């Protein structure tokens, strides 16, 4: 349905501020040159900037894992052994609360909901890890 697609593209350009005649002319010219590219870019919003960068993603992921592992390592080095489990749990909960608050601020959502969600899921993950450790006879 090329006519409908052309009208859709012209409508996108009109909503961006072009007059209806100019919007149609731009849609026609871009469609003649590269119809798929025009629709992918302007209708779907996919461009070179929004494409995934695997190397950057892997470096960011590795840095996040290192940063996330630093707090438990620090607690493990500084906390006396009888209080190790409690120390790890409490510092992890504080860190999860901070991360929940930060993610809510960045994402523009409710801090209470985000902090609750991340603490609940973090606690469940820690509980599951402890359960697996118990099943295999691993103790702290």
- Look at the chain and report how many structural domains it folds into: 2
pLDDT tens digit string along 121-137? Answer: 999 998 998 899 999 98
Give the pLDDT band (50/70/90) at residue 50: low
Q: In sequence order, which ranges of 19-110 are alpha helices (DSSP H)?
A: 20-38, 54-78, 84-107
Q: Is residue 140 part of a domain?
A: no
Given a cut of 80, whether residue 47 has pLDDT beyond it is no
Do 15 and 68 reside in the same domain of the chain? no
Same domain, 74 and 13: no
pTM above 0.75, yes or no: no
- Beta carbons of 22 and 36 less than 8 angstroms apart: no
Position 136 scores a pLDDT of 92
Q: Which residues contact 101 (CB under 8 A, 6 or more apart)?
A: 111, 114, 115
Note down the domain range covering 120. Answer: 54-135
């Amino acid at each position: 349905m090329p006519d409908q697609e052309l009208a859709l593209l012209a409508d996108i350009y009109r909503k961006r501020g072009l007059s209806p005649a100019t919007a149609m002319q731009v849609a026609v010219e871009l469609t003649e040159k590269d119809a798929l590219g025009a629709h992918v870019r302007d209708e779907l919003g996919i461009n070179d900037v929004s494409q995934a960068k695997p190397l950057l993603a892997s470096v960011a992921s590795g840095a996040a894992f290192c940063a996330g592992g630093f707090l438990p390592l620090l607690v493990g080095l500084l906390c006396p052994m009888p209080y190790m489990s409690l120390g790890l749990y409490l510092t992890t909960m504080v860190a999860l609360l901070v991360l929940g608050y930060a993610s809510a601020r960045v994402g523009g959502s409710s801090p209470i909901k985000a902090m609750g969600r991340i603490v609940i899921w973090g606690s469940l993950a820690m509980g599951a890890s402890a359960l697996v450790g118990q099943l295999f006879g691993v103790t702290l």
